[in-house]
Structure 1
Amino acid sequence: MHIAFDLSFTHTEGRWARQGSWVGRDFPDVRMFMELAQTAERAGVDMLFFGDGSGIPDTWRGSIAPAVEWGIQWPRHDMAPVIAAMSTVTSSIGFGLTYSSTFMHPFYVARLLNSLDHVTSGRIAFNVVTSTRSADAANYGYDELLEHDLRYERMEEFIDVCQALWGSVAPDAIVRDRDSGRFADPTKVAAIDHRGRFFTVKGPLPAVPSPQISPVLVQAGNSPRGIAASARFADVVFGFGANLGGQQRHRRMLDEALVAEGREPADVGILWATQVIVGRTEDEARTRRAEVLDFWDEEAVGAFLSHNTGYDLSGLPASFLLGDLRDRIHAAQASQSGLVARLVAEHGDGYRMDRAEFFEHGWKSATGIDHTLTGDPAGIADALEENFAATGARGGYMLSSPLGMPSGFDDIAELLLPELGRRGALAPRYAGRTLRENLTP
């Protein structure tokens, strides 16, 4: 199995205040990330991953106040400069960066990622997302979100343009002939002349081809339309953990979609999002788990869930049918995955749920307890190995920690990964030169 660390939320949802967190430093001090990168590389972690969002959550009650007060999903900085800094103190570990195909322009993103791939010597992954949050949309001048499937059409064209730009300068185009002064062969540099539904881009990319040419492409959609997009272009898929049946269904649907695209299912792994609280003993781990649960109240939970769903859940009636809630979310062009989708899959469309029960589930989702493995290294390693086998043994885990920064990740690196290594459960350690060579078959 491959292992990535999800560093998207090392300072939000109360993590900044936990025991041993950000001691002597405050987010976004780059030195904290540089030190963690070195620790993770020593442990053989394949990739450090940063999700992103560009709006302060305002869906819950139509206000940013709860998110600002409790640090829910904010602040969020562009982590590209942090990745550049981390790359200077490491040599093998990869870095995943997120940009939205719904709001960004492919020429800008293709050029930026080309530069970062040079800076990191071929260690960049691009997590391309469609955006479901009104707070993000408003910052890019959108009054409302694009329809769900249309966002995926735009994503696919976005990636088509990026790939054309990354291929617009042939790998052997740069000759650098000092005697003649000839820098490149113009017959190997060509415009892409793209004219599509969403983008018009002449090209070529005004850049030297990077070590990987294209960064590793990551995609996280788990709706049928999102899975179809993954099958078309993703090198690695980011999947949601917690529910084995849901994981197996995602793997099965992805395999079918890959075959339909003429691709080999064995070539595309899924990194399952999994939160870990590891202690030297089970009692120590359970004590740390209790600290996480103390933070949340309904305002914090509501701000978290509404932002990630893209739908204001503050107006939920005393009781409702899960199918009706799902349909209202769908009509709002909001996220069709996440908590509500999981509840529908578990209980069915016709299940009547009351508000208190919903927020009990929501509290577990917001804390991540519903997909957290808690225990000593041997117990967590047992669970990961069992789950890995049951989900197809292709890919691995995107591990996150609800504990202090960097102590929660240090424990994973220093306690859990050596246990997995002793069992022979981890993929070969940095066998290749680039992230693509290390992370994909």
Structure 2
Amino acid sequence: MHVAFDLSFTHTEGRWARPGSWVGATFPDVGMLQQIAMTAERAGMHLLFFGDGSGIPDTWRGSIDAAVEWGVQWPRQDMSPFIAAMAGVTRDIGFGLTYSSTFMHPFYVARLLNSLDHVTGGRLAFNIVASSRSADAANYGFDELLEHGLRYERMEEFVDVCRALWDSVPADAIIMDRGTGRFADPSRVRAIEHRGRFFDVKGPLSAMPSPQHHPVLVQAGNSPRGIAASARFADVVFGFGGAVASQQRHRRALDEALVAEGRDPQTVGILWAMQTIVGNTPDEAETRRAEMLSYWSEEAVGAYLSHNAGFDFSRLPERIVVGELAEQIAAVQASPGGLVGALMDEYGPDHELTRAEFFEHGWRSATGLDHTVCGSPAQIADALQDNFEATGGRGGYMFSSPLPTPSGLNDIAELLVPELSRRGVLAPRTPGATLRENLHP
């Protein structure tokens, strides 16, 4: 197994306020993040991952008020400078940075990631997202979201441009002959002359080739269109944890799509999202789980669900048909996955539930109870080994904690990861190697 920390929400949804949180420092103190990085590296973890979103959730009731009041999915920083700082106090652990292909320009992102790959010594991953949140779109001048399939078309072209730019200055183009003063061979450095549906980019990239040449590419889409995009370019897939049957369907669909793209399914792992509560004993873990359940108010749950779906669930009627709700969400170009997608998988499109029942499911989704594993290190390691085997044995887990930071993360790094290592199921991390080498299945 390869194991990572998802650090996207170390400070939101009340984690900053509870016993076990930092004393005398608050997000975004860079020293806090450096301490987390050093703890994870000592434990033998492979990656620190940062999801991102640039808008304050405003879908619930058409207002940012609930999200602002309860700290739901905000604040969020651009993590690129923080990654540079964390790289300075570590040597081997990798860093995953997220940018939106829906809003960003590929030349800017390709150049930035090239620079960060230099700074980290070849330890950078790029998580490419197709944004489905109206709060983000409004900050980039979009009055409405792009159609779902169109977002993935733009993503694929975005990646094509980035790859071409990274290839436009190959390593063997750099001569640096001190005797003659020649820096590079101009015959090896060429414009890409890209003319596409979404982007026109001349190139070449105005940067030195980086240690990995291409950063590791991560993609998280689990819709059929998202899986097709993953199969086209992803080195590693970020998958949603929870029901084993859903994970198995994702793995099968990805394998079929990889074969259709002429790629070997054995070379592409899935890192499954796994919210984790570890205690020295099962009772201690259950006590900590009970603490977590008190973090959420009804307004916080509504803000969370609506933001992540891109649909205002405050407007739901008293009775809901799951398939009809999914159609309404798709009609406004929001995300058909998430909670509603999970309900479709579990119950089918004709299933009817009350508004109260929907929000009961939503509460479990927002708190992460639907994909939380809780117990002693041995119990959780047993569950992970069973799940890893059942879902194809390629990839691993992206651990997050609903508990205060750093105590929840420290429990994972200092209790669970050593247990996996003792069992011989933790993938070895080669000191000094690039992230690509260390994440290879």
TM range (shorter): over 0.9
In 2, the alpha carbon distance for the partners of 1:377 and 1:242 equals 19
**Within 5 A, what are the aligned runs for 1:302-381?**
302-381=302-381
Shift of 1:107: 0.2
- Residue 46 of structure 1 contacts residue 430 of structure 1 at CA under 8 Å; is this kept in 2? no
1:345 is aligned with what amino acid?
D
CA distance in 2 between partners of 1:77 and 1:115 (Å): 19
Task: Kindly state the Cα deviation for residue 80 of structure 1 after the two structures are TM-superposed.
Answer: 0.4
**C-alpha separation between the residues in 2 aligned to 1:27 and 1:13?**
13
Q: Give the Å deviation of 1:429.
A: 2.2
- Give every structure 1 segment of 4 or more consecutive aligned residues whose post-TM-superposition deviation is greater than 4 Å: none
CA distance in 2, matches of 1:54, 1:243: 30
Does the 8 Å contact 2:133/2:334 carry over to 1? yes
Give the whole-Å Cα distance in 2 for the aligned partners of 1:407 and 1:294.
17
Query: Which residue does 1:430 correspond to in 2?
Result: 430
Structure 2 CA distance, aligned partners of 1:440 and 1:418? 21
TM-score, scaled relative to structure 2: 0.99
Q: What's the CA shift for 1:187?
A: 0.9
Deviation digits for residues 84-137 of structure 1 (CA, Å, limit 9, x no counterpart): 000000000000000000000000000000000000000000000000000000
Distance 2:60 2:22 in 1: 28
* Cα pair 1:223 1:337 within 8 Å, conserved: yes
Post-superposition shift, 1:369?
1.1
Q: Deviations over 1:262-289 (max 9, x none)?
A: 0000000000000000000011111110
- Please show how residues 156-195 of structure 1 align to structure 2 within 5 Å: 156-195=156-195
State how far apart, in whole Å, the 1-side matches of 2:5 and 2:304 are: 21
| Alignment partner, residue 26 of structure 1 | 26
Q: C-alpha distance in 2, partners of 1:184/1:352?
A: 66
Between the aligned partners of 2:321 and 2:227, the Cα distance in structure 1 is: 27
- Displacement, 1:432? 6.0
Matches within 5 A, 1:247-326: 247-326=247-326
* Cα displacement string for residues 348-373 of structure 1 (whole angstroms, at most 9, x for unaligned residues): 11111101111111001001111111
C-alpha deviation, 1:38, in angstroms: 0.6
SS of equivalent to 2:411: helix
Letter in 2 for 1:149: G
AA partner of residue 265 (structure 2): P
Q: Aligned partners of 1:89 and 1:359: how far apart in 2?
A: 43
Counterpart residue number, 2:384:
384
The one-letter code sitting in structure 2 at the alignment partner of 1:227 is: I
Root-mean-square deviation (CA, aligned residues, Å) is 0.7
Conserved? CA contact 2:101–2:130, under 8 Å: yes
3-state SS of paired residue (1:128): strand
| Structure 1 CA distance for aligned equivalents of residues 365 and 411 of structure 2 | 23
Please say which of residues 146-155 and 344-353 is displaced more in the overlay: 344-353
What stretches of structure 2 of length at least 5 have no aligned partner? none
- Structure 1 stretch displaced more, 86-95 or 344-353: 344-353
After superposition, residues 198-277 of structure 1 pair within 5 angstroms as 198-277=198-277
Deviations 1:155-184 (A, max 9, x none): 000000000000000111111111211111
Measure the CA separation in 2 of the matches of 1:378 and 1:433. 30
The one-letter code matched in structure 1 to 2:189 is V
- Paired with 1:430 and 1:274, the residues of 2 have a C-alpha distance of 24
* Contact 1:431–1:437 (CA under 8 A) maintained in structure 2: no
Number of residue pairs matched by the alignment: 441
Look up the SS of the partner of 1:28 in the other structure: coil
Q: Which amino acid aligns with 2:129?
A: V
| Letter of the structure 1 residue corresponding to residue 411 of structure 2 | D
State the distance in 2 between where 1:404 and 1:296 align: 14
In 1, the alpha carbon distance for the partners of 2:363 and 2:289 equals 14
Q: Tell me how far apart the structure 2 counterparts of residues 122 and 39 of structure 1 sit (CA, whole Å).
A: 20
Partner of 2:409: 409
Does the CA contact (< 8 Å) of 2:91 and 2:432 recur in 1?
no
Mapped contact 1:432–1:438 kept (Cα < 8 A): no
Structure 1, unpaired ranges of 5+: none
Identity of aligned residues (%): 73
1: CA distance between counterparts of 2:209 and 2:429?
26
1:313-347 per-residue CA deviation (whole Å, 9 max, x = no partner) reads: 00111111011101100111000111101011111
